[in-house]
Amino acid sequence: MTGHQQRELDIVVLGATGFTGTLTAEYLAAHGPAATRWAIAGRTRGKLEALRDRLGVDVQILEADASDQASLRHLAEASRVVVTTVGPYLRYGEPVVAACAEAGTDYVDLTGEPEFVDRMYVRHHATAERTGARLVHACGFDSVPHDLGALFTVQQLPQERPIRVRGYVSAGGLPSGGTVDSAVTSFSRFRQAATAHAERRRTEPGDPTRRVRAVPGRPGYDRDLRAWVLPLPSIDPQIVVCSARALDRYGPDFCYSHFVAVGNPVVAAALTVGVAGTFALAQLPPTRKLLLRLRPSGGGPTVEQREKAWFRVRFIGEAGRRRVVTEVAGGDPGYAESSKMLAESALCLANDALPEAAGQVTTAVAMGEALRARLEKAGISFRVLQRD
């Protein structure tokens, strides 16, 4: 990347005064190396100055608006890595991706919106490949634990045999308004999402020598986990499969299934009804607006609520007669850990020796072992629970 190392800043956090953006800035202020040159960016200078004062660090301020391409171009050209927490990404994200792709600037976000990721691949992957930019989506709870956890699981199995991995998510915590907005927006656009995914599959190169796929699971009681499991329609399988297509370590034949695991059948039934009801209400503008009013954008759980939150993702991997059970676990998935994962992803891209990569890439492809090491040091555990 021409001039990449000589840029004024290492990292810029766009949307720093929002709920998750503030948590990300706080993490960088507390845990970033002293030599890191970073800035906070957003629309309102007064709010940015107040945040800088609260952080207690000498961090630069950049005024930028997701709707102002000139300000985004300046931001991208000034920094080696741009972090954006401005969502929903379908509504606000593309100008930031475009600016980073053109400038050869690494990019990370927190999106959990499959349609956005597919559209950004079609529109900006080729440019980013040409300029050397690494566009890394889904760098929070969606989908770092699942992406790196699946890779960690695969690494425990023989490469030459077909590999099957199943991921089971358990978590406790409350969503913010931004997360609700993104989820409702995604539910309301399922037809457009299917079209975007089909367009990506037409343009994305394939490898006829390997077979990689996501396999929908079946709901029911899992005796291994002693829990009720339901297929989880999140972005995570899409990200895991993208990593598997890019990395030979996943073997000649890889499949992944993704579930939520709950201990109580009543809770499982309520979760199914709740998701179905939200999906139905998201289809009509009046009821969609009502859903968004339940938790307005810009707010989130209290410190006390976040301290009680947790997540655990258990993976069962099988290859021939080999079987392994692994686990990725941590604290508050939506905010404390997501902001940690996002900030560590940016620090990893800015500071670590990484594999050659460019274009739209996943965390496993762009950072892999380096990011896992960072997250383990930061308190997120990756463990092998059982080998057969």
Give the CA distances from residue 62 to residues 7, 85, 298, in Å, rounded to whole numbers and listed in that order: 15, 15, 20
Residue 374 and residue 194: Cα distance in Å, rounded?
35
Residue 233 and residue 180: Cα distance in Å, rounded?
15
Is the CATH number of domain 144-332+380-387 3.30.360? yes
Q: In what order do the strands lie in the sheet with 359-360?
A: 60-63, 38-42, 9-14, 79-84, 106-109, 134-136, 359-360
Residue 245 and residue 210: Cα distance in Å, rounded?
8
Class of domain 4-140+337-373: alpha beta
Give the pLDDT means over successive 10-residue stretches in the chain (388 positions): 71 95 97 96 96 95 93 97 94 96 98 95 98 97 96 96 96 66 73 92 91 92 89 92 97 96 76 66 71 62 83 96 97 91 98 96 98 98 96
Asked if 111 contacts 93 with a C-beta cutoff of 8 angstroms, the reply is yes
Outline where 247-383 has alpha helix (H): 265-281, 285-294, 303-308, 336-351, 363-366, 368-377
The reply to whether omega before 265 is within 30° of 0 (cis) is: no
- What was the pLDDT predicted at 1? 40
User: Residue ranges per domain, the chain?
Assistant: 4-140+337-373, 144-332+380-387
- What was the pLDDT predicted at 3? 45
Asked if 50 contacts 361 with a C-beta cutoff of 8 angstroms, the reply is no
- What was the pLDDT predicted at 36? 95
| DSSP summary character for residue 5 | G
The reply to whether omega before 188 is within 30° of 0 (cis) is: no
**CA–CA–CA angle 241, 243, 248 (5° rounding):** 105
One fold for 4-140+337-373 and 144-332+380-387: no
Asked if 158 contacts 322 with a C-beta cutoff of 8 angstroms, the reply is yes
